[in-house]
Structure 1
């Protein structure tokens, strides 16, 4: 059965450097051996290799930055020609945990501080010695999957290889059969 939500047994906790040490970076690496495919965007992705998750943390004057890297390989099918293909996934995501101040207006100012950067701002009231990034790792894995996987060299021109009666997209065969049945019944 394909995964549609984060596995319940996942737990990813990373240490944070001490608040006074803004130069120190701490990192943690996990290898996920996903046996079930992941269902996303009406497509299933099977993992051909274990997925490597790298998380790096660093304190900032505002709170802490968390950099999550996802790398692996998935088997999918081309969205144009339905041929099987393998796609490498390698993405990095930046999250900034910003300590929420007592002033409500300051939160908006803190979010505006990072507005132009490629990071997601997560307001928090407190930061301890570690942070649970389990939900973020799941989010990053799903977002790293290809939205529109296509053959890298370009698809084979199906129209030129097949006779005219076989030039239908195989994904629509069931629909075409249904339409033919309806026409035979006298439907529109």
Structure 2
């Protein structure tokens, strides 16, 4: 029972870390990154569709991404979605076959804003991990009558170790992303 609770907590915390890393990848840096466009929704025949399902994405240069739609009729819709995307700032260039989206250089102020955004996302991930810890601790406390205080105390220490490990992983990912954002 204790092992099941700890295993479930570890799994949920790992998913929280992965979600944080995924969130970090959507924050743009000085380079073009296909993941910036992965969550971009395009109004395709009246249905919001992720861009990744409508086109292939390549990065031929550091600040340019080439979008090749599978259906040429979607070119204008993709272009509209790129222009309307908040925090992207890409300038799409449509030549009738493909779209070349150029990413502007980031100035110092914009970099600082992105660092704040990434820190907020990291804090959300930490809060999520702590909530998992709290819920698991409550589950362990409920088991005290069945397994005994010593086993629960050991499990709580192990839970704290697991929690610290996952929070450290979020902090490591945050420091890497901050370094990437502040790199000129």
Range of TM-score over shorter length: under 0.3
Normalising by the residue count of structure 1, what TM-score does the alignment of the two structures yield?
0.22
Normalising by the residue count of structure 2, what TM-score does the alignment of the two structures yield?
0.23
Greater Rg, structure 1 or structure 2?
1
The structure with higher relative contact order (CA 8 Å, sep 6+) is 2
Structure with the larger strand share: 1
